[in-house]
Amino acid sequence: MAAQDAGWVRLWRKSLNSAVFADDGLWQIFCWCLLKATYEPRTVPVRTGRGCTTVVLEPGQFIFGRYTASGDLGLKPSTTWGRMHRLCALGVITIKSNTHFSVITLVNWRQYQADEVGNADTQPDTQPDTQPDTQPDTNKKLRSKEVKKKRARATFVKPTIEEVATYCRDRGKGIDPQAWLDHYEANGWRVGRNAMKNWQAAIRTWERNGVAVGRQPEKPDHLKPLGVAPGWVPPPDYERIDP
């Protein structure tokens, strides 16, 4: 077993408040990136056409190829590449590409992983505590401010048409992916008066409301025309006024 295939990684609870956790597709590929990243400097041979080159990886980096990654994740190459770029847009990873491969770097690897990844005996603490122990209240306030800033940055990330199409196809409820995407692009990604938080939930709402191919959503009861009681005969001066 290769060294990078052994051991474990740390998963922080603060991830529950992130935009990555709110999107199951992003969460899947983010966890995959954590498991793929090396925890120590490594030299990796990489094939480039007919030749071969050597890449030096630092902790928190790994070699990425969209087709190999798609095989690992069970996704289309375009979907995998699109989700990697969304992680990059969120500042979770950086991507350095050439014509043959990409080097992925997890931005906060050293902050959350480098001190305790794999075997503790071989993973010394590389991030010593620089805050004096005589100021616990100040440290607590600083940590609270950092948490608030990160929660504020946990904004909604628009899905790609490939992700919407895959989700609609898997559910099989007849939702038109392009019509759904065009609708929310046009209204600024809002659900009612509120900004969208979960696009999968919005698709499920369309399903419940009957917005499917060739079928119009059913109107709520208060918008349906008023009925007439059986056997009722209108008086001579009755005039019907429809809303």
> Which pLDDT belongs to residue 213?
55
**φ, ψ dihedrals at 52, nearest 5°:** -150, 140
> Which pLDDT belongs to residue 132?
41
Q: Is the pLDDT of residue 45 over 80?
A: yes
> Which pLDDT belongs to residue 119?
42
* Average pLDDT estimate for 121-148: 51
Q: Where are the domains of the chain?
A: 3-124+148-153, 161-216
> Which pLDDT belongs to residue 203?
92
Distances 4 to 40, 122, 156, 188 between C-alpha atoms, Å: 9, 13, 33, 43
> Which pLDDT belongs to residue 121?
37
Concatenating the DSSP letter of every residue in the chain gives: --GGGSS-----GGGGGSHHHHSHHHHHHHHHHHHHS-SS-EEEEEEETTEEEEEEE-TTEEEE-HHHHHHHHTS-HHHHHHHHHHHHHTTSEEEEE-SS-EEEEETTHHHHTTTSSS-GGGS---S---S-TT-HHHHHHHHHHHHHHHHHH----PPPHHHHHHHHHHHTS---HHHHHHHHHHTTSEETTEE-S-HHHHHHHHHHTT-BTTBPPPPPGGGSPPP--TT----TT------
Q: pLDDT-derived band of residue 4, with 50, 70 and 90 as boundaries?
A: low
Could you name the CATH architecture of 3-124+148-153?
A: Orthogonal Bundle (1.10)
Q: How many CA atoms lie within 13 A of 123 on its CB side?
A: 19
Q: Is the pLDDT of residue 117 over 60?
A: no
**pLDDT digit string (tens) for 58-98?**
999 999 988 889 999 999 999 999 999 999 999 999 999 88
> Which pLDDT belongs to residue 64?
92
> Which pLDDT belongs to residue 224?
52
